[in-house]
Chains A and B, each alone.
Chain A
């Protein structure tokens, strides 16, 4: 990347846009090989962590001089057991009988991938316009609360109730993110700080609604939790009641298509990308940058909101809680970065992280490896992908030709 494309920070209120040029170019122009190698590197580090903390490996290391084969065996067992458990939990379980039970893990992977893709699209779309949306948690919470409120507060037939609840959730997420876009456009408030703060404000708002009788709290209950969702708003199961996979995944696939069309085929998407590439040039050529910020944040928040809807109406239908985001709002950032903010890339990244998530539970159950190892692997993947020269140096690849 040639350095003369690094723009000087623009004057207020848009001065903070300049700092994102670099990463956006990295995301857009990095190549697939680096992405694959980054995953490999991260998995290697993850394996080292498993080895270093494995009891048997440490014990056998104590007498490595006397019997090195024990040590090597223990290492092999620790690693292969861990990844076998991961595979069994994420793709295809070889330990059980019957094709239907064996393939069940794959459907779990798809279930976890759905909200990651939706929220990843929300973060990625904002990236393309040069905005960093860290507010996924707050947007998901408000969306989940809004959808849940429509769910328990109204009594309608399924054909009306479900779409209304989905819409309410998307709208709540859109408005919450749009607030950050508005403040950026009007007052130059940095969207990173504002979205982080809105996460907390949203959390306490939903917490308040959940602890207040007459708002969202289940009648007669003292817990900060709403009533379970009624049948008429629950996203239908895709493969029958034996599998947890629900229509939220279809929602995610549809969103991938819509965002792809929006970014690549529509005038609005062109404006997003133009503002993301260079807000000053976009402004000079007549694009209303401030309004673009507001629009892109509204749509991004709507997409993240759909991830919240996916949770409350599909995955966790037992009631709205303040934990309904399940960390997806932050995982979405890594999904968007790994997918280089391209809709199809985000689809692939969401599937990969969904598989890691599904597999991590089986690793924890079978091998006692804490599920947080997935966080480590995910964040390392993103760090490595963001620094292609580092990955190239580690694997001794030739330097990429400068753009």
Chain B
């Protein structure tokens, strides 16, 4: 392998002070387009009536009132705010800087409030349920995306996240039932995810097989394997093999009683709390430890890493296995939480969404987590809107995350750069 180009490992957190105008301009242009779309809503499809946002639950420290606003006036106000944020973004860009992420986040929240005020005119929006459900739905995506980020930072493209989730879900259901405890199921799920990672590594690292192909094929293999075993074994003995105990919701004292934040973040199952921990640990390990530096070095410039004595393929194997453990834990969410039972192909391609979150999140654990949460929100939003009755067909809401991903990958939202050696097998010598 002839490396002529030397790539300096890039610290993702450090944005360059001056960015090319053309790239930076994309943000205000996108914000402007969204602002116009929301303006079109109020201009052409105004929905009279009042929208109610319910913020409280029964067991908070104090009760927040329900907020009722007139739909059309709210959307009009939102359009003005959005236009102001767009102008601010354009101003920042004209000074030669990038639009800060928090400004985009504020924009998104404001735009979403406007959209809800429009879509739920005459109805009540259960804000807490919407947000708490989003987090619950995002759990497998976050675990999967964390696994994906780790693998790709070490230079191994992992398309098999879906296989890891599905195999994890299967193992959690079966061994959770046999062990008689959801903890046993969780452990089995993590091992199952690592097993898929091991096969991926075996073919991709040891035998230099194209990583995208191994990933795609592994997904098919896991679908075939789990469906075969489900039909042949689990379906025959549902009580003995496919009825695990499930994790209950645990309200964290004090934190769980804070209005809004408590019921959304701190009245969840243990898997959600594990997810918080996993995000923090992965982000810390990747950027603040010697191990993380090695992982990134191996993913950016394996030859240089090899030269200074880092065992490239061993590092890739261990990273991939750790990533597999994490992704497998995400799979346990499917069978150890709400419906404790395995079903064929139950992940329904969630691993591909997690993969999209990895790219959308620019191979950074925290950003990938935010992207996964966004996908969870979009999914839950379409569910909530279809319950309260929405003017937008549910199919278009469900389509949204995928369209957003295409836009993101096409580079309209921001520059994204994969680790330099991502997907390239390392051959010594």
Q: What chain A residues lie within 8 Å of B159 (beta carbons)?
A: 192
Pick the residue among B2, B210, B395, B429 that contacts A8 (CB under 8 A).
B2
Cα A211 to Cα B231 in complex, Å, equals: 31
Pick the residue among B210, B229, B403 that contacts A386 (CB under 8 A).
B210
Instruction: Judge if B410 is at the interface, Cβ distance under 8 Å.
Output: yes
Instruction: Judge if B363 is at the interface, Cβ distance under 8 Å.
Output: no
**Contact at B399–A187, with CB atoms within 8 Å?**
no
Instruction: Judge if B221 is at the interface, Cβ distance under 8 Å.
Output: yes
**Contact at A330–B220, with CB atoms within 8 Å?**
yes
**Contact at B406–A201, with CB atoms within 8 Å?**
yes
Pick the residue among A19, A187, A189, A375 that contacts B220 (CB under 8 A).
A375
Q: What chain A residues lie within 8 Å of B229 (beta carbons)?
A: 53
**Contact at A383–B405, with CB atoms within 8 Å?**
no
Known: A8-B3, A9-B424. A201 touches B402 (CB 8 A): yes
**Contact at B409–A18, with CB atoms within 8 Å?**
no
Instruction: Judge if A337 is at the interface, Cβ distance under 8 Å.
Output: yes
Q: What chain B residues lie within 8 Å of A333 (beta carbons)?
A: 216-217
Instruction: Judge if A49 is at the interface, Cβ distance under 8 Å.
Output: yes
Q: What residue in chain B is nearest A18 (Cβ atoms)?
A: B424
**Contact at A23–B225, with CB atoms within 8 Å?**
no
- Interchain nearest-CB distance for A79 vs B (Å): 15
Instruction: Judge if A378 is at the interface, Cβ distance under 8 Å.
Output: yes
Interface on chain A toward B: helix, strand, loop, or mixed SS? Answer: helix
Instruction: Judge if B212 is at the interface, Cβ distance under 8 Å.
Output: yes
**Contact at A376–B225, with CB atoms within 8 Å?**
yes
Q: What chain A residues lie within 8 Å of B355 (beta carbons)?
A: 193, 196
**Contact at A375–B210, with CB atoms within 8 Å?**
no
Interface 9-mer from B181-189, B201-209, B311-319: B201-209
- Interchain nearest-CB distance for B192 vs A (Å): 16
Instruction: Judge if B227 is at the interface, Cβ distance under 8 Å.
Output: yes
When each residue 114-133 of chain B gets 1 if its CB lies under 8 Å from chain A and 0 otherwise, what string results? 00000000000000000000
Q: What chain B residues lie within 8 Å of A6 (beta carbons)?
A: 1, 424, 427
**Contact at A49–B228, with CB atoms within 8 Å?**
yes
When each residue 229-255 of chain B gets 1 if its CB lies under 8 Å from chain A and 0 otherwise, what string results? 111110000000000000000000000
Interface 9-mer from A250-258, A261-269, A366-374: A366-374
Cα A193 to Cα B164 in complex, Å, equals: 18
Instruction: Judge if B425 is at the interface, Cβ distance under 8 Å.
Output: yes
Pick the residue among B1, B356, B398 that contacts A197 (CB under 8 A).
B356
- Interchain nearest-CB distance for A185 vs B (Å): 11
Cα A207 to Cα B396 in complex, Å, equals: 10
Q: What residue in chain B is nearest A209 (Cβ atoms)?
A: B395
- Interchain nearest-CB distance for A201 vs B (Å): 5
- Interchain nearest-CB distance for A375 vs B (Å): 3
**Contact at B396–A208, with CB atoms within 8 Å?**
yes
Q: What chain B residues lie within 8 Å of A201 (beta carbons)?
A: 399, 402-403, 406
**Contact at A8–B5, with CB atoms within 8 Å?**
yes
**Contact at B2–A4, with CB atoms within 8 Å?**
yes
- Interchain nearest-CB distance for A361 vs B (Å): 13
- Interchain nearest-CB distance for A90 vs B (Å): 18
Q: What chain B residues lie within 8 Å of A160 (beta carbons)?
A: none
Instruction: Judge if B214 is at the interface, Cβ distance under 8 Å.
Output: yes
**Contact at B232–A370, with CB atoms within 8 Å?**
yes
**Contact at B224–A376, with CB atoms within 8 Å?**
yes
Q: What residue in chain A is nearest B427 (Cβ atoms)?
A: A3
Instruction: Judge if B359 is at the interface, Cβ distance under 8 Å.
Output: yes
When each residue 119-162 of chain A gets 1 if its CB lies under 8 Å from chain B and 0 otherwise, what string results? 00000000000001010000000000000000000000000000
Cα A387 to Cα B205 in complex, Å, equals: 11
Cα A389 to Cα B427 in complex, Å, equals: 15
Q: What chain A residues lie within 8 Å of B410 (beta carbons)?
A: 183, 186-187, 189, 194
Assuming A201-B406, A379-B224, A389-B207, what are 16 further A-B pairs, CB within 8 angstroms? A3-B429, A6-B427, A8-B5, A49-B228, A193-B355, A193-B406, A197-B403, A204-B396, A204-B402, A330-B220, A370-B230, A370-B232, A372-B231, A375-B224, A383-B221, A387-B203
A-B contact pairs, 11 of them (CB 8 A): A20-B212, A22-B425, A26-B209, A132-B213, A183-B410, A194-B409, A194-B410, A197-B405, A204-B402, A208-B395, A374-B224
Report, nearest first, the 7 A-B pairs whose CB atoms are least far apart.
A375-B224, A370-B231, A23-B210, A372-B227, A376-B224, A379-B221, A208-B395
